[in-house]
Amino acid sequence: MEVESLRQFFLWCTILNGGLLILYALIGVTGGGWIYRAHHRWFPISREAFDVILYSFLGLYKLLFIMFCLVPYLALSLLSSR
């Protein structure tokens, strides 16, 4: 596979996953109460525990996004600019 094809692949992965990360963060911040009420119906969990789980998920997603989408894209962009 060519470097340019890989760079384009990681570009679209970065765009899509970055958009999802922003969407999840906005929904989590603005609709946290609604999400908590929906999940509280199925799982007996406190609000504090729910907040920890939500922010832990967002942190893990952001870390994986940076490691597996953004860094490969930037590395391939630097490689192809030479």
Residue 82 has pLDDT above 80, yes or no: no
The residue type at 29:
V
pLDDT at 8: 97
Q: Which sign, positive or negative, has the C-alpha torsion 35, 16, 57, 26?
A: negative
Residue 81 corresponds to which tokens in the numbers above?
Answer: 């600019």
pLDDT at 44: 93
44 three-state secondary structure = coil
Q: Supply φ then ψ for residue 2, to 5 degrees.
A: -75, 155
> Which pLDDT tens digit goes with each residue over 3-33?
999 999 999 999 999 999 999 999 998 988 9
pLDDT at 1: 73
Give me the mean pLDDT over the 44-61 stretch.
95
